[in-house]
Structure 1
């Protein structure tokens, strides 16, 4: 509630008034007061100042000679445009400081909050998630980013982990045309929110390698992990691989449960430090399904 906001010397109500007059040219002072939820005397004082500063013009009202129609002047339109530009910069700067994908959480949260303020039930359904095969622009950066942010929080993995994920994924995408290789993205509103890949080459011996399985936290808990894993394993079975392997670390019970319900079993466990600190590493194996 400072005296000047949005890069102006105006108070909040005056800034709000300019925005409402821009959106409703010809609005009366009475209707403006209802929109702003201000008393008549407060609206009158504010409008006198805006008219005196040449931001707002009063015009005759053909329907009611006692009520003036309000419109922005050229100076008022310029000032309002600068207010919008200031707000846009604020939003862009704030969202730009968020980790990838978190801006979606802000958007969805504000949508639900606005629905609740408007008196609706707040049960707006999220956009559907589509599983899309093959390469997509930005896939290497997005999948790497999801891995790095998740494992930095969960396991304190750092730069080496990020470099290995990015390099391995970039190399794999250059081999996608080879039989036995496949990658799938979970896409919501045009953005990748999950991934999984089958590398049919790097292990040899008719063994499939399940890699880069990750779900963004904004869509976890809705069964997307099962959908992605089932899609990848359907591909494995169709290709006729004798065995599928994956490597992970201990301490991820939800992921382990998902693997085991899809036919994987823990085959080996050891302590390793390849990611900068000792971790209980694990190898899971799924034999060919009969």
Structure 2
């Protein structure tokens, strides 16, 4: 359902068009997307299974890792199945309500990941800078309150976006040049002034993502200072190893976030199809790599992972 530039209408459905300019390659693009999504599901569910079933991993650090895995699953599952449907079956039709719902969960999971990374930085700060009080400060009650605060903050920041979009009047088209519903992609279809939406997005980026990033940098500045004050080289290396996986995940999350933020607002020289392709990779690659990073670099998780695969191998050998 489309309309000319002089008639307001409220779209009952949107049509996701995929990646403009690459329509002939959609089938082949979807294959690596599907493989990455399968690895994402397997890796994050396996990580959650290991943390939930291994009593020794019921510690604050691993609880936060399980929160991150849950957010990764939510982010990828909210976007990838519909993307694959668009690529393989040209099933791009999505109702206005479903589009808003998808948009809501994409942005909520994104903000939740940022807050979880901040909580993990706080965990590492306490573990290294004040280890004697670690179990006193990060009790189960405190971790539960942190989890509740993460969910509440994400909801409160994103809910106004739903209200802003529903207030817009549309007069152009219901074709969304994307593979999933994103706030500014929808807003740019409106014939109303979207200045409020733009500035709200900027304010949200500064107050949420920007503030989280600044606090993480501050935490790691204090952590590194404490590490280099340790008396022995072995102690310094051990402390650095405990932070290595978290630092990798932080960089993998924030560097693309900063790039996309500035590219969407100021990088008009970048072709749209490249931005959309990168946006799809961003909801796939970090959720796929996060469990791999923690599985390889965290000794406790790696030992449990080897035990799980050994058990599966023995069982399959007995069955065959």
Note whether the superposition's TM-score is higher than 0.5: no
Give the TM-score normalised by structure 1: 0.27
Q: Larger % of helix: which? A: 2
Per residue, is there more strand in 1 or in 2?
A: 1
Of structures 1 and 2, the one with the larger relative CO (CA 8 A, separation 6+) is: 2
**Structure with bigger gyration radius:** 1
